[in-house]
Amino acid sequence: MNGILNVFKPAGITSYDVIRVVKKVSGQKKIGHLGTLDPLAEGVLPLFLGKMTKLIPHFNLDDKTYQVQARFGARSTTLDREGELTPVPIPETCTCITITTALNGFVGESEQVPPMFSAVKVQGKKLYEYARKGETIDRKTRRIKIHWIKNVACGLPDLSFEVHCSKGTYIRSLVHDLGVQTGTGAYLTGLTRTRAGRFFTDGNAIKLDKIKLFNKIDLQRHFIDPQYLFTEWNQITTHSPDTIDHLGQGRSISVEPDTLCLSEKGKQFSKCLVKDQQHRLIAIGRLEFSQDGHGTFHPSNVLI
């Protein structure tokens, strides 16, 4: 079974627990996703089943949006409420005004240190493997970008806000750094991923409890048409079995003008998909034009 499914992961389980459920319903063993959510977190977890896993690289760098809950007055070994908490005084200088000002200061590009309890690999081991042994090691900073922070609600010791950030941003670290910057401690108490890229939102995500009741046909009905994810790309529609066979072998094909629908970006935009007469996605790749206007499609990912 091949498809794309946007699942709403509940808090209290791992991302792999979600995948395990979908594997059981679908019978498909090969499933990938667009970014792990910690057990504490809930929200959007897009899954790619079977051959659709080939499409993951086209979305894996997309930005994410989160709803964040934090608490001041303590530091956590894991930077969230699941770790060991150490109380820290909240000074008089730490007010909702100073917190909001400091929080807005994180907007833009910066360097962030990954938390010790994370899956980042150092010297062949994941950081959490060191952390579970009580070890702390040096970590390289990562370049991240906070696009915006809004809907800030402060009522000390609690804080909530919405953040739109680049892939690889650790919200736990953001909250911890905010506590340090305001002269106290802060840790994550709740996290909801509301959006992954342009197309996967909490509005079109399917609850896991609902999926548990599905059969294979029910599951397929909730698959996202992959063409919906490539609306800005050029499109080729082929009716030729020979052309489909060539693409299945990973070979480039000549493009007939009557099979091509250019995007608004025109011939200068090389990204292109190929679908068959049943409108099923066959391949994605690069469209190239010669000086005489002849078009050639070069597949990068074949889905048949």
Residues known to be catalytic:
38
224-230 CB contacts, 8 Å cutoff, 24+ apart: 224/3, 224/4, 224/5, 224/6, 224/199, 225/281, 226/4, 226/52, 226/55, 226/281, 226/303, 227/273, 227/275, 227/279, 227/281, 228/199, 229/4, 229/55, 229/58, 229/59, 229/199, 230/271, 230/273, 230/284
